[in-house]
Structure 1
Amino acid sequence: MEAEVISMWDRAMPILTGAALKIAAAFALYMVGRWLISFAINMLSKILTARNFDATLQRYIANILGVVLNILLVVAILGYFGLQTTSFAALLAGVGLAVGAAWSGLLGNFAAGAFLIIFRPYKVGDYVVAGGVEGTVVEIGMFNTVLNTPDNVVSVVGNAKVSGDVIRNFSSNPYRRVERQAQLAFGVNPLDAIAKLTPAVAAIPNVLAEPAPTVEILDFNEMGTLLCVRPYCHTDHYWQVYFDTNKVIAATFAAAGYPPPFVVEREELVPLKK
């Protein structure tokens, strides 16, 4: 009995040793392949950077190259183990069709991402509203766009949703307008308020001199005169100018001694019946 066990072990040892060596070689091939893929992607990024390619386009091309090279690496390892790569390619194509039919939305995101790269409605670093989300563009990926919202939350939006919705790019133009309102009480001269408020708004840091800020009469309501206050600034300074404008309105009206606005209630006189 012991002799039979020894004999079986002697026969199994070459097989186990060969399998172990093959697995070790496949692992080494995988590690070398991963290093070569990283090297190729880094080299491509350096070449594109040297040719002044846009950062968004660089990431998109690098992602596609990484996916293709990883698939080739898996096919090469399977071929090393003796599997027919042609059959694997056919199987992969069939699986791709099945997955494509089941995940049509994912392919839609991929196609939309390609169009976003081609038509360039925004780029990395732009402040936009895309897919109903407002924030700074961090990355335009193969399937989605990553935005960092003003409250510092990372939001991932599918490219299909982005391309199918209205895109508002606040960074395309050199400046944007800050829209604020200032309510005056009854009895306050709006022209005097405009004369005091206009230079105060113009003195706010990062408010542009051209176009100059405007303060105009917007409407008349039950509290008095309503002014519109419109300074202009770069989109990077929008919220700073927005809040500073509110402070300047309050400080200017307080310094002028304007009374706070209040609703004036009107009583209707009903004639007495005889």
Structure 2
Amino acid sequence: MDNVNQFQQLATAYATEVGTKLLAVILFWIVGRWLINFVCRMLQRVMERQKVDPTLMRYIGNFVAVTLNIVLVVAILGYCGIQTTTFAALVAGIGIAIGAAWGGLLSNLAAGIFLVVLHPFKVGDFITAGGVTGTVKEIGLFVTSINTPDNVLTMVGNAKVFGDNIQNFTANEYRRVELKCQLNGSADHVAAMQLLREKLALVPNVLATPAVEVEILDFTLVGPVLAVRPFCHNDHYWQVYFDGNRTIREALAAGGFPAPMPAQMVLVQNQQ
């Protein structure tokens, strides 16, 4: 009977100790997570007051959040009696295994740092990088998030972005819209060019300076091909593109210019 009572006392003491530690771990986790979120919010407010670039701000916020979460986990494990040195060795071993399996992980991290430091683009810019064209949503630790014009969020590895050509369409104040116009071979190309310059200048959001460019680009069997090039802000590119094509069609039709038609000359030779 004494042995049973002793066993019950040991079980009760062990359950009490485990329960106390479990409650403490839960409490530490909740408080720790709250403190981490509080620190991240305060850091974000400080950087906003200092007018830090949004790209750099998100990058630093992600790095601080990940670091503090690792510290919290190590602290909880140490409280539970788990050797943190063993845990650190385990983490290092896992890191080596991950690095061997995904050799590009560290290169993506390094490329992300260079993207933030060299600043070839920022969040909100419209770019082409890594074979993807769209608006930059976020420059993360390992990937850059780009929202394409057809509203598809695409993740591109930072190493691919940094190692490839980068086109930043937002960096300059304006860009040129590339349009073409096929004329009939019998059409008065000088009058057509002057008409298109006047009509394209009236399209909404087309800039007065630089002026609309209309010149002969090429020659085909149908007739000359005109290069029609209005200038606009990047935000209005597609509106000017589509409105410009419509204006070309309507202006030439209203001006009485003949429609471009493929023509062939047939020679008939009578054989005696």
Distance 2:221 2:245 in 1: 22
Partner residue of 2:93? 94
Change over 3 Å in CA distance of 1:124–1:10 after alignment to 2: same
State the shift of 1:6 in Å: 5.6
The Cα offsets for residues 85-133 of structure 1, whole Å up to 9 and x where unpaired, read as 2332233223323322322211111111111111111110110001000
Q: In structure 2, what is the equivalent of residue 11 of structure 1?
A: 10
Matches within 5 A, 1:61-210: 61-210=60-209
Residue identity in the other structure for 2:243: D
Query: Gaps spanning 5+ residues in structure 1: where?
Result: none
SS in 2 for 1:267: coil
CA RMSD of aligned residues (A): 1.7
Could you tell me how far 1:271 is from its partner in structure 2? 8.9
Q: Secondary structure at the match of 2:250?
A: helix
Give the fraction of aligned pairs with identical amino acids, expressed as a percent: 51
Structure 1 SS opposite 2:186: coil
Gaps of 5+ in 2: none
Deviates most, 87-96 or 191-200: 87-96
- Classify the secondary structure of the residue corresponding to 2:7: helix
Deviations 1:124-175 (A, max 9, x none): 0110001000000000000000001001111110111111111111111111
Matches of 1:242 and 1:47, distance apart in 2: 42
Q: Structure 1: how far apart are the matches of 2:185 and 2:67?
A: 71
Q: In structure 2, what is the Cα distance between the partners aligned to 1:260 and 1:16?
A: 92
Q: TM-score, normalised by structure 1?
A: 0.94
Corresponding position of 2:242: 243
AA partner of residue 43 (structure 1):
M
Equivalent pairs, count: 272
Partner Cα separation in structure 2 for residue 270 and residue 179 of structure 1:
45
Aligned position for 1:259: 258
Cα shift at 1:224 = 1.1
SS in 1 for 2:156: strand
- 2:43 alignment counterpart: 44
Per the alignment, residue 216 of structure 1 pairs with 215
Shift of 1:252: 0.1
The whole-number CA distance in structure 2 between the counterparts of 1:161 and 1:271 is 67
Q: Displacement, 1:217?
A: 1.5
Q: State the TM-score, normalized to the length of structure 2.
A: 0.95
